[in-house]
Amino acid sequence: MKKAKLLLLEDDVGLNETLKEYLEEEGYDVVGVYNGYDAQERLYEESFDLLLLDVNVPDLDGFSLLKEARKEGVRTPAIYITSRSGVQDVESGFESGGDDYLRKPFELKELLLRIRNILRRSFFHHSSKVVDLGGGFTYDIEKMQLYNGEEALFMGEKEGRLLKLFVQHKGDLLTHETIRMHLWNFDEVPSDDALRTYIKNLRKIIGKEKIVSHKRLGYKLG
């Protein structure tokens, strides 16, 4: 059985190592990072089943990290583990997209119980969000993860966002304007050449025949 994969953001080296060792002994695959930028990079490069996020960490705080990820469509459940214990802090945690909030100091057993609870709920919630793309490919909408059989496939940020858009509108013709609006941020300049490159890259991964071109109109996922 595949282990659940956790991303652990905790800047206290000793606590990070303690939590990682304990959770690995309990059967989890844990990736430990110490600052917000590293966590953000790993989050977009890899697929995780649960996020464990401290708040007061270098570079990018846990609240901002998760809030940005939620805006990008990341729906991986998250538990905050933090010494910030005020009611306003808890409110900020849930408003930023957190699923649970655990105040430090805490018992390891309590963290474990909360993890099990979140993952149990997540399994049943996500089970109906997997789309069959044919040819052995499936796409988990909630995790924004493409699979070939049981193998997780990885791609660039723009290709990932493009694939999610196609899957959400499978069978529909997406105009160039619609794609540009969803693919580029407000402070970026859309490019037709770049779009063609992203389409080409995506076709290399899932197969050329799966993305149908409609000349001067747009594309659709067949």
Q: What's the whole-model pTM score?
A: 0.59
In this prediction, residue 98 carries a pLDDT of 95
Instruction: Reduce the secondary structure of 34-89 to three states and give it as a string.
Output: CCHHHHHHHHHHCCCCEEEECCCCCCCCHHHHHHHHHHCCCCCCEEEEECCCCHHH
Beta strands, E only, the chain: 5-9, 29-33, 50-53, 78-82, 100-103, 130-134, 137-140, 145-148, 151-153, 174-175, 211-214, 218-221
- Taking only the tens place, the pLDDT of each residue in 26-42 is 999 999 999 999 999 99
How many angstroms separate the CA atoms of 218 and 174, rounded?
5
In this prediction, residue 127 carries a pLDDT of 44
In this prediction, residue 123 carries a pLDDT of 53
- Could you tell me which residues come within 8 angstroms of residue 190 by beta carbon, excluding any fewer than 6 positions away? 180, 183, 184
* Residue ranges of domains in the chain: 5-126, 130-221
Residue 99 in tokens: 């699923």
Q: Give the least confident one: 80-84, 150-154, 156-160.
A: 150-154
CATH topology of domain 5-126: Rossmann fold (3.40.50)
CATH 3.50.50.60 is the classification of domain 130-221 = no
Residue with tokens 């990682």: 20
- Taking only the tens place, the pLDDT of each residue in 167-188 is 888 888 899 988 988 888 777 8
